[in-house]
Every structure is written in structure tokens, then in C-alpha cells.
């Protein structure tokens, strides 16, 4: 975060909301570029890999890999899949998914979530993973 706010409370609040770094104006451009480079290095080293059955899930890359097949997911599809995977076997409510996808004050039509779920299901079916996402009527979704 690059800002003119110099109070400690602003820095603490920004870092608690997810800022990787906090730089106040005026700043040294060389230092700024070095800090940005360090963030990219950390991102490269943080290849978050998890598993869903026999599928490797590369969350940072938006990829599912099984044997020699690769499934490329959109950002929203990966967010949904990751939320369901992290709560595998449990119901994830539509509100929880919408908060993960669009955590802002802007109103988003709930139909947008339905469309994203449908696309994810279709891609998983084509990938050979059948009936992976169960709809729990009036409750949400569950990854089986």
C-alpha cells in the first residue's frame, strides 16, 4: 500500500485488511521497486497445492491437474472450488460464497453465483469429475 497517511493506526488497519506492505509518501522509487520484487518472489515460492481425491489443486494458478489432464478455472470458479474444498463435506452457504467472490458494497445479483456454479460443474464433468458439487436446497452447496 502506498499512501500519504502516516498514522500507526492507518498502517495497522491496512495490514489487517491484507496489505502486504505499507509505504508512506514521500518514498524512494528504488525501495518501492525492491519491495514489489520481494512480494513477487514470495508469490512464486507460495505455490499453494492441495488435493481433491486424485486431483492436484493449484489455487494460485487456477489449475486442477489429474494424470496428464489440466483444467484451467477462472478466478471465480477457483474461489468457489477452493471454498468448497476447504469445507469439504460441509455445506457452504450462498452468502458465504458471495462474500468470498464479491466482498464489497456493490450489489451483485444472486444469479451470478448460480451461473458460476453451473460453469464450474460443467467443467468438472468434462474433466471426468462427476457429481462433485451437491446443491442443498435452501442451504447452499457441498463438495462431495
Q: What is the CATH number of the domain that holds 135?
A: 1.10.10.10
Is pTM beyond 0.85 here? no
Q: Are residues 33 and 6 located together in one domain of the fold?
A: yes
Supply the pLDDT for residue 60: 84
List, for residues 28-69, the tens digit of each pLDDT value: 999 899 888 887 777 666 556 889 999 999 988 899 999 999
Q: Are residues 67 and 37 located together in one domain of the fold?
A: no
Is the distance from CB of 23 to CB of 32 less than 8 angstroms?
yes
Q: Are residues 66 and 24 located together in one domain of the fold?
A: no
Q: Are residues 58 and 41 located together in one domain of the fold?
A: no
Q: Are residues 57 and 107 located together in one domain of the fold?
A: yes
CA angle 124, 81, 75 (to 5 degrees): 95
Q: Are residues 114 and 129 located together in one domain of the fold?
A: yes
Rg for the chain (alpha carbons), in Å?
19
Burial of 10 (0-12, 13-18, 19+ CB in 10 A): middle
Which distant-in-sequence residues (6+ apart) come within 8 Å of 65 by Cβ? 55, 56, 58, 71
- How many domains are there within the chain? 2
The single residue listed with the C-alpha cell 462474500 is 99
Supply the pLDDT for residue 41: 77
Residues of the chain with pLDDT under 70: 43-48, 104-108
Amino acid at each position: 500500500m502506498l499512501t500519504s497517511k502516516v498514522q500507526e493506526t492507518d498502517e495497522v488497519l491496512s495490514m489487517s485488511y491484507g496489505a502486504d506492505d505499507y509505504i508512506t509518501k514521500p518514498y524512494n522509487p528504488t525501495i518501492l521497486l525492491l519491495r514489489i520484487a520481494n512480494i513477487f518472489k514470495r508469490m512464486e515460492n507460495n505455490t499453494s497445492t492441495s488435493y481433491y481425491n486424485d486431483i492436484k489443486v493449484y489455487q494460485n494458478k487456477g489449475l486442477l491437474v489429474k494424470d496428464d489432464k489440466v483444467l484451467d478455472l477462472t478466478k471465480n470458479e477457483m474461489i468457489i472450488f477452493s471454498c468448497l474444498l476447504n469445507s469439504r463435506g460441509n455445506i457452504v452457504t450462498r452468502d458465504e460464497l458471495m462474500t468470498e467472490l464479491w466482498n464489497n458494497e456493490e450489489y451483485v445479483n444472486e444469479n451470478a453465483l448460480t451461473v458460476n456454479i453451473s460453469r464450474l460443474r460443467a467443467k468438472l464433468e468434462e474433466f471426468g469429475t462427476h457429481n462433485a458439487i451437491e446443491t442443498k436446497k435452501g442451504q447452499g452447496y457441498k463438495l462431495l
